[in-house]
Amino acid sequence: MTTIELCVRRQDRPDSRPYWQSFRVPAGSGANVLALLMALREDPVTCSGERVDPVAFEHNCMEEACGACAMLINGRPRPACSAQVADLASPVVLEPLPRFPVVRDLMVDRQRLFENLKRVRAWIALDGPWDLPVSTPRIAPRQWVADYLYSRCIHCGCCLAACPQFPDADAADAAGFVGPAALAQVRLLNAHPIGRFARTERLHAIMAAGGLSDCGNAQNCVRVCPKEIPLTTAIGELGRASTLQLLRDLFGD
């Protein structure tokens, strides 16, 4: 058992001012940041000996599959469950995930993620007034391997937190940049045997204001993605698709 110093940026209400508190938390070998926060919840006493409300945080799967525990750890956005304390510099500094409105302490409102998925039509329409003209979707192994990379997205929001073009939560408007996560889903669903039927609609959605062309190619997204999704490759491929779609719209059909 070692003792880890933890600095947490806290905020009591969505509209109140954030403040910092430090804690000393016992950590077993192999502990991750979530384990620290759970240990802290049992005995929330600050370094100055004051007993405070436990730090609010979100978690679910504990195995980097749900994305709920993403936060800023030592200044970098990443899921807390896969952040091993042994690999982190001391003190461990925790802040809520930027670009998302704070609900309380390390809990953020992640609705923006889903609003942006809706904007780019990141779904497959299965139910229609007529039968789909395909029975069993067939995908070539080579394409399946490439597509699978994008299906690993856990919607943690780390790529959005690191993106210099993704608007701040308080500056967000309906035409702000949709961000790399939603764009990668367009890449995935446009290649899907049934999803490709709405390919043009999705391309038109990302060709509007706040779409693909708001990307500034800073490429932080691909560096911080915990699932190592080739987000910038998706953006390049969508660039090609939207160039062709633009020519088709201007001079084609």
Partner 1 sequence: MSSALADPPSLHPHLLLRRLHSLLGLVPLGAFLCFHLWENSQSRLGALHYNERVVGALHRLNYLPLIELVLIALPLLFHAGYGLVILRSGRAEPGRYPYLRNRLYWFQRLSGLGLILFLLLHVGLTRIAGLFDPAIAADLHGYMQAALRQPWLLPIYLLGLGLAVLHLANGLATAAIVWGLTSSAAAQRRFGWACAGLGLLLAALGVQGLFGFLAP
Binding residues (CB under 8 A) for partner 1: these are 75-76, 118, 121, 125, 127-129, 162, 164-165, 167, 176-177, 197-198, 201, 204-205, 207-220, 222-224, 230, 232-233, 235-244, 246, 249
Q: Where are the alpha helices (DSSP H) in the chain?
A: 33-42, 111-119, 141-151, 158-162, 180-191, 199-206, 220-224, 231-251
CB closer to partner 1, 65 vs 172: 172
CB closer to partner 1, 40 vs 186: 186
Decide if 94 contacts 56 (C-beta within 8 A). Answer: no
**What are the φ/ψ torsions at residue 102 (nearest 5 degrees)?**
-75, 130
Decide if 27 contacts 84 (C-beta within 8 A). Answer: no
We find the least distance from the C-beta atom of residue 253 to partner 1, in angstroms, to be 10
We find the least distance from the C-beta atom of residue 1 to partner 1, in angstroms, to be 32
Q: What is the largest CA-CA distance in the chain?
A: 71
CB closer to partner 1, 46 vs 74: 74
30: left (phi over 0), alpha (psi -120 to 50) or beta: left
User: What SS3 state is found at 147?
Assistant: helix
CB closer to partner 1, 44 vs 98: 98
We find the least distance from the C-beta atom of residue 122 to partner 1, in angstroms, to be 12
Measured distance CA(148)–CA(104) in Å, rounded? 35
We find the least distance from the C-beta atom of residue 43 to partner 1, in angstroms, to be 32
Where are any strands of DSSP class E within the chain? Answer: 2-10, 19-27, 70-73, 76-79, 92-95, 102-104, 107-108
| Residue 73: DSSP 8-state | E
We find the least distance from the C-beta atom of residue 38 to partner 1, in angstroms, to be 27
CB closer to partner 1, 113 vs 215: 215
We find the least distance from the C-beta atom of residue 58 to partner 1, in angstroms, to be 23
CB closer to partner 1, 59 vs 76: 76
